[in-house]
Amino acid sequence: MNIKSTSSHHGSNSGDYLSFRSDKLSVLINTGRLELRALLDSPDRLFEGALILKDSRSVKAARVETAEAGVFFLKRYNSKGFFYALRHILSKPRPAKVLRVSNLLRSAGVKTPQVLAAVFKYRYHLLLNTSYLITDYVENIIPPNTLIPGLLENKSYFTEYRNQVIFCLNHLHENCTTHGDLKIHNIYSRDTAAGLEVGLLDLDSVECYKSPLTAKTRAKDLARFVASIIQVADSNHIATDQLQISEFIITEYERVSGFSLDREYISRRIKHHICRKRK
């Protein structure tokens, strides 16, 4: 990597990172994956020949495999223009926010991909232009269209899944953070030799608060989660009882977290998500 500058060392809750800087480029890289350093001069080249998972106006994501670094997940956050960058000049870039929350969760035993590197490209030495996030790639994820019918047909399977999701979510909430987009597609599940493994994906929408979360704020994540189960079931032509599924999940969250939640508010939020998706 042609970054002609000094490096610095940063500790985290789940790994150590080295920081490399130049006039227009800043890189944070996990000390355990320094082989990535040679690839980060031009991250866009890594998309060539990669398996593209998403390509929209805001982001591009791919499964990348290289001889130097093996398999990893790469996401590019596209530039939103000069004036957007100027308005958000004091905001923490999303890859940096994801790195912090990911390491916080991993230190508490929550499954989520480890951040391997974050790259920030600047214009005029100060305004963020484009940023990149590299994480572990989670293989063998059970697709939602396979997972949901299995959950609804097997109560003990659903119970294990629910308990693991709530374990993840409660740790997030206890650290004054919401996921922001806790739909079924952003919760990975896979079968391992030790049993079912459940973890969180896509921490882009996390929001960190300065004080403990209120019950209403916590309820938003839960409503999004319940709504996504019903949406996937609906797309697979499986009849569901919204109240029954909601109560099954909420009562366990209340037991674990110690919070009492407003059922009527959650029901309205669930219906909001379902109706918005159907439009």
DSSP-assigned letter for residue 34? G
Pairing of strands 7-12, 15-21: antiparallel
Please state, in angstroms and rounded to a whole number, the distance separating the CA atoms of residues 216 and 54: 32
The pTM (predicted TM-score) of the whole model is: 0.85
Question: 73 near 61, Cβ under 8 Å?
Answer: yes
- How would you write the pLDDT of the chain (279 residues) with one tens digit per residue? 444 433 444 544 445 899 888 767 788 999 999 999 888 888 999 999 999 999 998 899 999 999 989 999 999 998 765 444 455 454 677 888 899 999 999 998 999 999 999 998 876 656 667 899 999 999 999 999 999 999 999 999 999 999 999 999 999 999 999 999 999 999 999 999 989 999 999 999 999 999 999 999 999 999 999 999 999 999 999 999 999 999 999 999 999 999 999 999 999 999 999 987 654
Query: Among the residues of the chain, which ranges form H helices?
Result: 82-87, 94-107, 144-153, 155-174, 215-235, 242-257, 263-278
Query: With the C-alpha atoms ordered 32, 36, 41, 44, is the resulting torsion angle positive or negative?
Result: negative
Instruction: Compute CA 238 distance to the chain's CA centroid, rounded to the nearest angstrom.
Output: 27
| DSSP code per residue over 187-206 | EEEEEETTEEEEEE---TT-
Residue 105 has a CB neighbour count (10 Å cut-off) of 23
d(CA 277, CA 270): 11
